[in-house]
Amino acid sequence: HLHERGVIHRDVKSANVLACPDGGIKLIDFGLACRYNPGDSKTTHVATCHYRPPDIHLGNSNYETEIDTFGVGCLMAELLLGFPAFYDHPGMKRDHTKMHQQKRDGGPAEHRAPGW
């Protein structure tokens, strides 16, 4: 519904989803939401770290609705696992640090890219 109206939420995560008594769900917290136009550059300081796509960690600012799709995928994994898929992952802090180092160094070299 949002995407059809040209809006991306940019922070899809379990804390922003409410279960309704009728069995439906509601997406809340639109503090990071924005209208999007294809090709427009946007901030990369979006989405909670564990729900943020790897390419945005690396500095891609030309994202569109796929940021929300990735968040929904992480949310589905969380429902199946019982905890966030990337939360306290042994390599999460290391990979996050490595991605920021690669961004500073001009992007990942194929042989250095983190294993997502």
Name the catalytic one among 11, 40, 55, 105: 11
- Tell me whether residue 55 is one of the annotated catalytic residues: no
CA distance 109 to 114: 10
Burial of 33 (0-12, 13-18, 19+ CB in 10 A): middle
- On whether the CB atoms of residues 104 and 58 are closer than 8 A, the answer is no
Indicate which residues carry an active-site annotation: 11
